[in-house]
Structure 1
Amino acid sequence: MVLIKHLPRDSALQRDLHGEAADWSVTDHLLAAAVDHLAVANWMFSCVNSGEDDETPEFPQPVPRPKPGEDEESEEDGGGPGADGSSGAASAPGGGKAPPAVSPGQLARFFG
């Protein structure tokens, strides 16, 4: 389980689980946000400095981003119910979900 959880974001398993969102790193999201902000700033500059008789330019379209899957969050933290029927939804100290506990039986099945 540890090996699978720590696969790189560009691995085939991550792409299969998360689709196009697996190809986007934090850097890609930051660059898309920077491009969007620059486009809006240029649009504002153009609106302010255009003549009064000119019509306002069209608002810029944001850079398309991958849409996260509906069940992406549950897949990232280890998936659905465990072998014992528990949901694995225990709370972490920070208020988020704690990773589900892995039983010795689950480890034995995984490693054969």
Structure 2
Amino acid sequence: MDLLDWHRGRLTSRRLAVLVKHMPRDSAVAQEIHGESADWTVTDYLLAAAVDHLAAANWMFASVNTDEDADAPEPPVPVPRPGDAASLEGSTDEQATPPGPDDLMRFFT
């Protein structure tokens, strides 16, 4: 497909718009429009969410089953996602603090 075909009148504007809209995620246009999030598919986001939920569940289990005198386990760090500046920089004071063992006990009782 030659882009000059649009200029020559052999390619309609509608067809050109459809071609640009449905370009593959790894194309230069998609990379320019979506940035690094173009590299992640829906499956990648779902896998990252599954990893985050599993890590949170394991942390909750460890927190509830830890001796009262022992140090609480460190809360899990979420998988960094593209375009999420907070996850790339680490936790900030603006983010909500994870629940502690007392919060978990209140929730489950």
TM-score (norm 2): 0.59
Quick one: which of 24, 27, 32 aligns to 1:11?
27
1:33 corresponds in structure 2 to: 49
Identity %: 66
- Mapping of 1:1-112 within 5 angstroms? 1-67=17-83
* Distance in 1, Cα, partners of 2:55 & 2:26: 29
Across the aligned residues of Structure 1 and Structure 2, the Cα RMSD in angstroms comes to 1.1
Runs ≥4 residues deviating over 6 A: none
Paired letter, 1:61: V
Largest Rg, 1 or 2: 2
The CA deviation at 1:43 is 0.2
The CA deviation at 1:8 is 1.1
SS of the counterpart of 2:78?
A: coil
Deviation per residue, 1:28-80 (Å, 9 max, x gap): 00000000000000100110111111121111110000117xxxxxxxxxxxx
Which runs of no fewer than 5 residues in structure 1 stay unpaired? Answer: 69-112
* Distance in 1, Cα, partners of 2:74 & 2:65: 14
SS of the counterpart of 2:48?
A: helix
